[in-house]
Amino acid sequence: MYRYVGNISDLSHDIIKNYVLNKDVAIDATLGNGYDADFLSKNFSKVYAFDIQEEPCICYREKNVENVEVINDSHHLFDKYVNSNVDCIMYNLGFLPGGDKNITTEHTTSLESIRIGLELLNSGGIMTICIYRGHNEGKIEETCILKYLKNLPKNKYGVMVQSYLNRQEISPMLVIVEKK
């Protein structure tokens, strides 16, 4: 087991825990099995969690986590549900582990959501994006998302990528965006 070079989801949690300036409001843009929502609920006062699939939404609501509002809708519609700025936004793209692999995040809505999310992000806030490149749509997401983030003004956003150098090229990657 590696202490640092392990799982990119755990790494995203550590980065958020240590570097987000204020831990008031967070968004889990892809609820899925709820591991990120659980993490955010323990570290932020209020969490909005989105998923287009009804099942993960029902499962998470049944847990009755007081500070997590579950929204059964797409993350490109943040504006419709989130009426404040936020301090953190997490994306774990791709399909639901253990679920239907044909239902996956898509580059058009992922990109639109990231664009809107960066507007919602407070100064000192962080967005993390786990990209899974082992399936076709994931490869397209990687290309589009990196192209978009590469062109963000560096006086306003710091953007960093963490990937495994000695694993397969399709291994997952973590993108971190910090707003100045």
Binding site for ligand SAM (CB under 6 A): 30, 32-36, 50-53, 56, 74-75, 92, 94, 96, 103, 105, 109
Tell the smallest beta-carbon distance from residue 23 to ligand SAM (Å).
18
Q: Which is nearer to ligand SAM, 78 or 179 (CB)?
A: 78
Nearest approach, Cβ of residue 153 and ligand SAM (Å)? 26
Question: At 26, which helix (H) or strand (E)?
Answer: strand 25-28
Minimum CB distance to ligand SAM smaller for 21 or for 77: 77
Among 30, 35, 93, 90, which Cα is nearest to 63's?
A: 35
Identify the CA nearest to 179 among candidates 136, 120, 135, 108.
120
Alpha-carbon gap, residue 174 to 130, rounded angstroms: 5
Question: Closest distance between ligand SAM and the C-beta of residue 4, in Å?
Answer: 20
Nearer residue to ligand SAM within complex by CB, 162 or 165: 162
What strands lie across the sheet with 25-28, from one edge to the other?
A: 68-71, 46-50, 25-28, 86-92, 121-131, 173-179, 157-163
Residue labelled with tokens 């971190």 = 176
What is the smallest separation between the CB atom of 64 and ligand SAM, expressed in angstroms?
Answer: 18
When CB distances to ligand SAM are compared, the closest residue is 32
In this complex, which beta carbon is closest to ligand SAM, that of residue 37 or of residue 165? 37
